[in-house]
Structure 1
């Protein structure tokens, strides 16, 4: 006996005005929950906390903390985009392919460059260069 097929999920058009903002906030929170399942993102959050401690130890100014906050938010944004690339690549190309490898490697490079920017900024503050 076969099971009746479940209906395919329907795309719901976006709501206008405040409803759209509320929906978008929910999507963003859902995305953060998905990002939290990534080991790399959890490690970056831990290193971000360590960096904040170092900035405090260095006597960083409010502007330094703000600058780091922006860089760290960009790191998490790039990590989220990298995760999205990986998820889509695995869906589109579950078998090994050069294109899939290149897409994942480029996403990883983007994250790595943002990590270097964050580390470089904290080091520059610690050395009194900024």
Structure 2
């Protein structure tokens, strides 16, 4: 970095309520983009919404309800991050490259782990509700 280059992003100059308002608007734009352009996000959201209601209605502790809803939100968060990685890789170049493949595969692996954690959490908490065995 040369001595004339700023050590911070000029896009980070907002503060206070203006920054919070901008952050909310950017977040809403991100949710809209994910809904419009990311099929996997739509699928996961359509599972997370009823899953949240089911979790809240189950006869389990508040902490277990939090875990059930939390892992659903975790899947959405990781999917959004994966979509961000894919968009950046595609922005840099659409040509096939081993590093691009690795970046996309690593993002996909992160989503897989989040989904696996969600599945196991739901099984551990919900199965005993129905099988008192």
TM-score range, shorter chain: 0.7 to 0.9
TM-score (structure 1 length as normaliser): 0.79
Correspondences of 1:44-123 after superposition (within 5 Å): 44-52=44-52, 54-55=54-55, 58-123=58-123
The runs of 5 or more residues in structure 2 that have no matched partner are 1-9
RMSD: 2.1
**Matched length:** 119
Q: Which has the higher helix share?
A: 2
SS at match of 1:59: coil
Structure 1 stretches (4+) deviating beyond 6 angstroms?
A: none
Higher relative contact order (Cα pairs below 8 Å, separated by 6+ residues) = 1
TM-score (structure 2 length as normaliser): 0.78
Q: Distance in 1 between matches of 2:19 and 2:56?
A: 39
Check the 8 A contact 2:71/2:118 in 1, yes or no: yes
- How far has the Cα of 1:125 moved from its partner? 0.8
1:8 aligned partner: none
2:5 aligned partner: none
Q: Distance in 2 between matches of 1:54 and 1:122?
A: 11
The runs of 5 or more residues in structure 1 that have no matched partner are 1-10
Check the 8 A contact 2:48/2:73 in 1, yes or no: no
1:34 aligns with 2:33: yes
- How far has the Cα of 1:52 moved from its partner? 3.5
